[in-house]
Amino acid sequence: MHDTLLLFGATGDLAQRYLFPSLLRLLGDGLLPEDFRIRALALSAHDTASFHEILRPRLQQAMPQATLDDIDALLQRLDYRAVDLRNPETVAEAVSDLAPRRCVSYLAIPPGLYISTCQGLALGGALEAPNRLMLEKPIGSDSDSAAEILHAIATLIDEDRVFRLDHYLGKAPVQNLMALRFGNTLLEAVWNRNHIESVHILVAESEGVDGRDAYYSRSGALRDMVQSHILQLLCLVAMEPPSSMEADRIRDEKVKVLRALRPLDAEHAARDSVRGRYTAGRIDGQPAQAYQPPEGSEAETFVGVTAHIDNWRWAGVPFHLVTGKRLGERTSRVVVTLKPVTHWLFERPDRHHATPNRLTFQLQPQENIQLGLMSSLAGPEWGALELRPLELELSVPTGLYRRIAYERLLLDVLNGNHALFVRDDEVRAAWAWIDSVSDAWKAAALPLQPYPAGSWGPAQAHAFLPQGVDQDPAASGGAP
């Protein structure tokens, strides 16, 4: 197990809100080595003592159950260095004394700083075997910039010591998609185009862009969310069964899905996609301001796109991918709609009004699984020929302890487990499809459609959303 973490971007929101609290919990649970060391690095001109004073209240706020002794135990293992990440020589100077240890370098920084930082790490000896490198996605902003970063890093460190992180893969409900698919005969038997009508993948956020405008105005929802989280969910839903749970066998199957995605073209851009930007509205009864990016920015805050996977299992099955900010509620779900039975026997409803069977995987905020069936048990007494929808629900008990994604992922890197991380060819394949969508939008001059904060996106979004989502009473509080 590696015993040293070089954490770049230590003053950033990600590190302060998630990474340091995750390390505090892992240390308290006895899951880190006795001699574990952390070096925090960022541009801000702090020394170790002043950084401790900044971090201590953040840890108390994030983990109120932690004692002062617990926090002190973490801080005693942590020192700070101010460093200009654009200058490889200063990076090398800041890490060279720890390079002989077994180091993991975690780059929680903008991708534009990856190359210079990695050059400094290599210059300081921190990328020599067996040291490891951990990168936050996105890797670049398009195929060209991703290829540049991948090539530059490949000259400095072997691929089998690089861990590209998409934190969605560390979430227990997301991992459970694989368990449900490949651990249950009932699901695997119908998991193909012969039985499935459509798949919806929805990642909705009620929060706005807020404090991320510098990044978001350049990326938008397509590059920020679809390229990462939503394509990862798509891969887990659509991949073929791997030959084993070994990391590269799983990642082989994910890459096959991405390579089978049909590129979007300008001719079908308006039919198969919609892009929007939220205007003023209301969230939970409170006013929400419109998103106003810098002049000239084409950043969208809502994307709906229908993807097609051109292979034997999924030919003809549409995958509707939707994400947006300032929507009616915070929710992530995968909805699989099955085809109707081949011969309908019942009087009421007639076959044209029967509710199709749907399997819903609710990933957040509460994890559960719903199976929608048609049953006479839900109808009136003696109504054997009258069917009504019946929901079977399996909910995870509230209060069940689950490690947050970053805890799981940090442990996996320290132990060298690649299964929940993204390989270089997967990055390239994902960006190739995302670029096809972006290029189709430009060629078709697809406009940004306005939608009020608290709603479920532009009017055109209805065709991409799971049935009933935008009429869900639980999503109240949107714009009137």
In this prediction, residue 340 has a pLDDT band, given cuts at 50, 70 and 90, of confident
The token pair at 298 is 């084409």
Percentages (nearest 5) of helix, strand, coil residues in the chain: 40, 20, 35
**431 Rama sector, left if φ>0, alpha if ψ -120 to 50, beta otherwise:** alpha
**130 Rama sector, left if φ>0, alpha if ψ -120 to 50, beta otherwise:** alpha
User: Does residue 229 have an active-site annotation?
Assistant: yes
Give first-to-last CA distance, the chain, whole Å.
Answer: 55
Q: How many of the other CB atoms lie within 10 Å of CB of 11? A: 17
Q: What stretch of H or E contains 148?
A: helix 143-154
Q: How many of the other CB atoms lie within 10 Å of CB of 423? A: 20
Distance CA 448, CA 454 (A): 17
The pTM is what? 0.90
Catalogue all structural domains in the chain, each as residue range(s) with its CATH number. 4-136 (3.40.50.720), 169-475 (3.30.360.10)
What is the mean predicted confidence (pLDDT) over 408-412? 94
Q: What stretch of H or E contains 37?
A: strand 37-42
pLDDT exceeds 60 at position 339: yes
CB 22 within 8 A of CB 404: yes
For position 384, what pLDDT does the model report?
A: 57
Question: Which of 330, 58, 9 is closest to 165 using CA atoms?
Answer: 9
In this prediction, residue 383 has a pLDDT band, given cuts at 50, 70 and 90, of low
Which of the residues 46, 229, 308, 418 is marked catalytic?
229
DSSP helix/strand/coil, 131: coil
In this prediction, residue 2 has a pLDDT band, given cuts at 50, 70 and 90, of very high
- The CB-side HSE value for 444 (13 A sphere, CA atoms) comes to 21
For position 317, what pLDDT does the model report?
A: 97
Q: Tell me: cis bond preceding 365? Omega within 30 of 0 counts.
A: yes
Sign of CA dihedral 468, 474, 477, 480: positive
pLDDT exceeds 80 at position 387: no
Query: Higher-confidence residue: 222 or 373?
Result: 222
Environment class of 78 (CB within 10 Å of its CB; exposed 0-12, middle 13-18, buried 19+): buried
What are all long-range contacts of 64-68, with beta carbons under 8 Å and residues at least 24 apart? Answer: 66/24, 66/28
pLDDT exceeds 70 at position 473: no
Q: What is the pLDDT of residues 147-169, one digit of tens each?
A: 999 999 999 999 999 999 998 88
What is the mean predicted confidence (pLDDT) over 34-62? 93
Distance CA 18, CA 26 (A): 12
Mean residue pLDDT of the chain comes to: 89
Instruction: Name which of 83-97, 201-215, 258-272, 448-462 the model is least confident about.
Output: 201-215
